A and B are shown apart, each in its own frame.
Chain A
Amino acid sequence: MLAALAWRNIWRQPHRTALSLASIIVASAVTIFLLALQQGAYGTMEESVLRLLDGFAQAQPGGYADDPDLNKTIAKPETAIARLKEIKAVTVAAPRASTYVILSNGDRSFGSAVFGVDPSAEEKLSTLAGTVKEGRYLGPDDENAAFVGAGLARNLKISTGDKITMLGGARDRSIAADVLTVVGVFSTGSPEIDRQVIEMPLTRFQSDFAMDGGANVVAVGGRSLADIQAVLPALRKAAAEIGLTMRDWTELEPALHDVILLDASFSALLYVSLVVIVVFIILNTLLMSVLERTREFGMLMAIGMRPNQIGAMIWMELLFLAVVGAVIGVAFGAGLTAWFAGRGIAFPDAEILFRQWNMPSTLYPDLNWRSALAGPTAIMLSIVFAGVIPYLRVRGLEPVSAMRAV
């Protein structure tokens, strides 16, 4: 009956209760939508950036991440590829070698990062092949071909069919020099990549840079980043077995990871503020109700109810409000978010900004258990914990003074 009493008490002032519920519902729905949108944006950002070049994880020789030296090689990349592909979530494992070179065309020379890649594997792993601005991507039969960033092509004044001279230091400390033919120009939208990167066939790279059939990394791809993240322990184990270190995306793109963490921290402040405001609204309403009912509490004590039982009843009222509000809020917020998740939200004005991250200008909220429940649960628990204030207030009441209250 205490529960029935608490439930009926909250409906004594239906308008007030409706307003309290509305604040919980709106706050819950807002947190669900914003969190899902945020997670969707982060997911898109992570996948877009990683799919462009890095892959979702990389097996590297020890120390390569801190000092990407050409000498730190995977002697038999095919063995590493075969071992990594044994893990179910891995759909592609692509060998790569890379170093820094000087590229020249006539009297124009620019520094560049050159990647030796396996075109067939790379097409499955990287979206770079899909950013062709002119010409085509590298093919399996290409030998001295180069796929050049648009910024670099502009600086060198080259286009498809032109030849460029590459000069660098080989692994055996000899001079690595070659003449490459531009087969295609790419434009990712990231000025940094477009200005610095070229790709060439791995076999030619191995020959030019005395790699002895080796590679520097094996990049790993899967259906989604989450799939690869889920098998990360297995990947680490497999890499360790063949003397390599597995780097996850946070190590491959630490700047992106930091940006996301920073943004998430600021957003957390927003969510906490929202929760605090809602808790204050509800608490204020309940304290008003407690104040109005002090005389009644005196009467309840007079007929034999203990103060802690009355406090428990008040707490139960708060619990009912919080649970009902959160449940409706989850239904409303998740419904709304699911609707947007199906259609996407276009940000046409942010297209240029998003292109820097190789991101589409339409974002899709990521509605999952975490985005659907984290906000409402935080609101609900905060309200319930805040209930200690009215509880203590009621516990401190004396029957006679309470019954004299107006």
Chain B
Amino acid sequence: MSTIVECRGVAKRYRQGALSVDALRGLDLQIEEGDFASLAGPSGSGKTTLLNILGGLDRPSAGSVKIAGEDITKLDNNALADLRLKRIGFVFQAYNLIPVLSAVENVEFILQLLGAPPKERRARATEMLEEVALAGLDNRRPAQLSGGQQQRVAVARALASRPAIVLADEPTANLDSKTAEDLISLMSRLNESSGVTFLMATHDQRVIERTRRHIVITDGRIASDERRTRPAS
């Protein structure tokens, strides 16, 4: 198993006028290929900051972050955009689909940015929608889909480029219990069948119980990192 994410001494300091806030304080973390991990912690503990840094959306104030062996702290903005496109999949709490594109177009969009030929990207997008059990809903726009369906499209989009890791920020927070359960099952199944690496920042106990690795972050540091051989089913 290879290392997908490797953080060493990652710190992030925000300045708010004369004040400075340390969101991360010398954090070390390693995510292995195939991990299905949850990241929990109280509000303000640094979960989202860590996800942003791992996803190349933000830069650390200190320390190094390697994604699939590449130190992303040295990349410029365009290279970070390419990294996000090719190596990272994002799933957001609020789904964040492009409202004017249909489900299949939302998935296809990533592939177009990657320069895939039209036929190939349409086939891949359709395949991804089938994978997340949305076959037949290809041409519906986000507003015509339920919250759970939108989040499935978001998962399909995140996986379309075959990323090294999918980072999910509170993916079930906007979903009802049943839909949230279905989504967790879907992500778990994709992790097991395709070996996709997931790291999910969450407060949702159901997500935490279903992951095989549970990381707790407090005050910008890793407070615990527990691996479970048999998560709750």
Contacts and interface: CB of A to CB of B under 8 A. Distances in A.
A267 to B, nearest CB: 41
A127 to B, nearest CB: 63
B20 interface: no
A98 to B, nearest CB: 74
B99 interface: yes
A300 interface: yes
B101 interface: yes
Interface in B127-167: 157, 161
B57 A400 contact: yes
Interface in B173-218: none
B82 interface: yes
Contact of B84 (A304, A400, A403): A304
Chain A, interface size category, equals 20 to 34
Nearest to B58: A400
B77 A304 contact: no
Given A9-B100, A304-B86, A304-B113, A1 B81 contact: no
A302 interface: yes
Contacts of A1: 101, 105, 108-109, 112
Contacts of A299: 92, 96
Contact of B57 (A2, A4, A302, A309): A302
A295 B92 CA distance: 12
Nearest to B110: A303
B68 interface: no
A307 B110 CA distance: 15
B225 to A, nearest CB: 25
Contacts of A87: none
Contact of A5 (B52, B86, B96, B101): B101
A301 interface: yes
Contacts, number: 64
B98 interface: yes
Interface in A301-338: 301-307, 309
Contacts of B157: 303
Nearest to B108: A1
Contact of A303 (B52, B90, B100, B105): B90
Contacts of B105: 1, 4
A143 to B, nearest CB: 87
Highest count of chain B CB atoms <10 Å: which of A5, A302, A303: A303
B60 interface: no
A402 to B, nearest CB: 10
Tell me the dominant secondary structure on chain B's binding face: helix
Given A1-B105, A304-B82, A305-B113, A400 B52 contact: yes
A303 B161 CA distance: 10
A399 B85 CA distance: 13
A303 B84 contact: yes
Given A302-B57, A305-B113, A399-B57, A5 B77 contact: no
Interface residues of B, number: 27
A12 interface: yes
Contact of B81 (A2, A4, A9, A301): A301
A300 B98 CA distance: 8
A358 to B, nearest CB: 61
A307 B90 contact: no
B156 to A, nearest CB: 12
A299 B110 CA distance: 12
B78 interface: yes
A307 B57 CA distance: 12
A142 interface: no
B55 interface: yes
A312 to B, nearest CB: 12
Contacts of B58: 399-400
A76 interface: no
Given A1-B105, A1-B109, A307-B77, A302 B100 contact: no
A343 interface: no
Nearest to A12: B100
B84 A302 contact: yes
A227 to B, nearest CB: 54
Contacts of B99: 12, 296
Contacts of B84: 301-304
A5 B141 CA distance: 13
Given A303-B157, A304-B81, A304-B110, A296 B98 contact: yes
B162 to A, nearest CB: 13
A399 to B, nearest CB: 4
Contacts of A5: 98, 100-101, 109
B210 to A, nearest CB: 25
B127 to A, nearest CB: 18
Contacts of A154: none
A4 B98 CA distance: 12
A86 to B, nearest CB: 63
Given A303-B85, A305-B113, A400-B58, A8 B78 contact: no
Contacts of B85: 303-305
Contacts of B112: 1-2
A379 to B, nearest CB: 26
A1 B105 CA distance: 8
Interface in B26-44: none
22 contacts: A1-B112, A4-B105, A300-B98, A301-B81, A301-B84, A302-B55, A302-B57, A302-B84, A302-B90, A302-B92, A303-B84, A303-B113, A304-B81, A304-B85, A305-B85, A306-B78, A306-B81, A399-B52, A399-B57, A399-B58, A400-B57, A400-B58
Given A11-B100, A304-B85, 7 more contacts: A1-B108, A5-B98, A5-B100, A12-B99, A296-B96, A299-B92, A303-B113
Rank and list the top 10 A-B pairs by shortest CB-CB distance, nearest first. Answer: A304-B85, A8-B100, A299-B96, A399-B57, A304-B84, A306-B81, A400-B58, A1-B112, A400-B57, A302-B90
